[in-house]
Structure 1
């Protein structure tokens, strides 16, 4: 299951992770975000032990969304070593995210 991350836990969970981290910036009112949610959950299962998959509710946690220039949701950022290494704005097929993560694990 994807981990819910807040502004308070972002540093420890995402930026200090030794594994690649897929971050889903989303909001409850966002239709495309709800469409993407099952894919994010599947990715968290598929990459268990190899990568970390987290969700950030941009309505409740705006600090890191602003820091990384998230203007549209859903936005997926992939981090490795505390740095953004890939980005996907909008909904994409699961294979797109799988390829991005596979390249990093």
Structure 2
């Protein structure tokens, strides 16, 4: 993963996402998914911009199937926003950077 983008897996999901003390943005993606590749630069930019304030990462749905299944992820890319271990926002498809920033602003992150 590039720069400050974390790699989330079924194995580290609880420690990295659910137990995080700061908000977490998770991009559910797969290598074969064209729209996922289109979204990647936005995710990387946000990770750099919000480093230290928000944990931003990606979870490969091909390699990790338990977590997406338990969260009812039915299409990719899907981006979930978590705060204090709870899902607080869900953005499906390729969304503009401003939509992600608005989701974070609702949590008081700017």
Same fold (TM over 0.5): yes
Alignment TM-score, normalising by the size of structure 2: 0.93
Q: What per-residue deviation string (whole Å, max 9, x for no partner) do you get for residues 39-93 of structure 1?
A: 0000101111111001000000011100100010000000001000000000010
Alignment TM-score, normalising by the size of structure 1: 0.97
Gaps spanning 5+ residues in structure 1: where?
Answer: none
What's the Cα RMSD here?
0.7
Gaps spanning 5+ residues in structure 2: where?
Answer: none
Residue 56 (structure 2) aligned to one of 50, 53, 58: 53
Superposed structure 1 runs of 4+ greater than 4 Å apart: none
The answer for the alignment partner of 1:77 in structure 2 is 80
Q: Note if 1:64 corresponds to 2:51.
A: no
The answer for the alignment partner of 1:37 in structure 2 is 40
Q: Note if 1:27 corresponds to 2:30.
A: yes
CA displacement at 1:99 relative to structure 2: 1.1
SS at match of 2:68: helix
